[in-house]
Amino acid sequence: MDDMELEDIAKALVAPSKGILAADESTGTIKKRLDTINTPSTEETRRDYRELLLSTKGAGDYISGVILYDETIRQKAKDGRQLTDLINGQGIIPGIKVDTGAKPLAFSEGELVTEGLDGLRDRLAEYHKLGARFAKWRAVISIGESAPSQYCIDTNAHALARYAALCQEAGIVPIVEPEVLMDGDHNIDECYAVTETTLKTVFDELYKQRVVLEQMLLKPNMVVSGMSCPEQAGVEEVATKTLYCFEQTVPAAVPGIVFLSGGQSEQKATEHLNAMNQMGTYPWEISYSFGRALQASALAAWQGKKENEEAAQAAFLHRAKLTSAARDGEYSPDME
């Protein structure tokens, strides 16, 4: 993998039938996930859970890359191997979350700006040595009464572009993630408008900061109804509006769009991805970088117990297989 060019890494991450597993939950977020199965969050349980997923036989058929958290990229598997060696052995490319989280944005109550630029050049050099070949930075945009402000979109877009340029300089493919959150009672058209403005601003900044579009991937939200909107848009509408939004905003030079699942159920995220891949050909690959929508069943099957490891791996492999089918436009709900 060492001699791969950034373009080749980006293309490999969105190869046919494959997509990315987001397993980069911060220590706070993974604790919330483990709480749901009454499992304490310790360095060891976190390692056990991630090792379980990544050592699943056949995972490499559906998973091109995995986004890790700082703790995980340094951890060893139970047999003493570095986890990154185990991952590479599965034919999966290791990636790393490099932002340090979304913090309150000054003078804009309720809005957030993602931090992590200080010292990033040095951290990227270290992550490259540890085996990371791609990275992720997540900006969070919420929809509310008077949100988002253009100020919030601008500051987040500026940081995303600074991050992306530093990644490319370090020989790491940046995944640029501006997530418009699903929380709220807004309808799908409000989500469309905010997503469109956000993406226009992000690509403007990427251009100004000389980011090479062929050497990055975009990780966006789908255009969907707010979680508590009484009128939920159907699969066809989500797929049509999402694709139209990206046609308006994402340059053809970008090799792939890898969607986040953002709180959609496993099945809904899969149905949406499938519908988009059935709708025709687009300049970019349309794939996945799911966290919850690839892990929910596996986590529930595991319950933190050694004797459930096999069942959890089977659940993970099944979900990955269905998501991969959707990435190729070949999924149907009867495969569930």
Residues annotated catalytic, as ranges:
177, 219
Taking CB under 6 A as the criterion, the residue among 262, 270, 324, 331 binding ligand 13P is 262
From residue 229, alpha-carbon distances to 135, 208, 214, 236, 245 in Å are: 33, 36, 37, 17, 20
Minimum distance between the CB of residue 192 and ligand 13P, rounded to whole angstroms? 19
Cis amide prior to 148 (ω within 30 degrees): yes
Taking CB under 6 A as the criterion, the residue among 167, 257, 260, 301 binding ligand 13P is 260
Question: 123-128: which pairs have CB atoms within 8 A and are 24 or more residues apart?
Answer: 123/98, 124/98, 124/166, 124/167, 124/169, 124/170, 124/172, 125/170, 127/73, 127/96, 127/98, 127/172, 128/170, 128/171, 128/172
What is the rounded distance in angstroms from the CA atom of residue 225 to the CA atom of residue 231? Answer: 8
Which residue's Cβ lies closest to ligand 13P? 291
Window contacting ligand 13P (CB under 6 A); options: 3-11, 125-133, 236-244, 257-265: 257-265
Site for ligand 13P in 11-30 (CB under 6 A): 22
What is the rounded distance in angstroms from the CA atom of residue 5 to the CA atom of residue 289? Answer: 21
Window contacting ligand 13P (CB under 6 A); options: 9-17, 111-119, 204-212, 285-293: 285-293
C-beta closer to ligand 13P: residue 177 or 271: 177
Q: Could you tell me whether strands 63-68 and 19-22 are parallel, antiparallel, or unpaired per DSSP bridges? A: parallel
Minimum distance between the CB of residue 260 and ligand 13P, rounded to whole angstroms? 4
Minimum distance between the CB of residue 11 and ligand 13P, rounded to whole angstroms? 20
What is the rounded distance in angstroms from the CA atom of residue 97 to the CA atom of residue 137? Answer: 6
Site for ligand 13P in 288-327 (CB under 6 A): 290-293
| Residue 141 near ligand 13P by CB under 6 A | no
Window contacting ligand 13P (CB under 6 A); options: 52-60, 191-199, 226-234, 260-268: 260-268
CB 257 within 8 A of CB 195: no
Window contacting ligand 13P (CB under 6 A); options: 73-81, 208-216, 272-280, 287-295: 287-295
CB 233 within 8 A of CB 191: no
Minimum distance between the CB of residue 138 and ligand 13P, rounded to whole angstroms? 4
Positions in the binding site for ligand 13P (CB under 6 A): 22, 138, 177, 260-262, 290-293
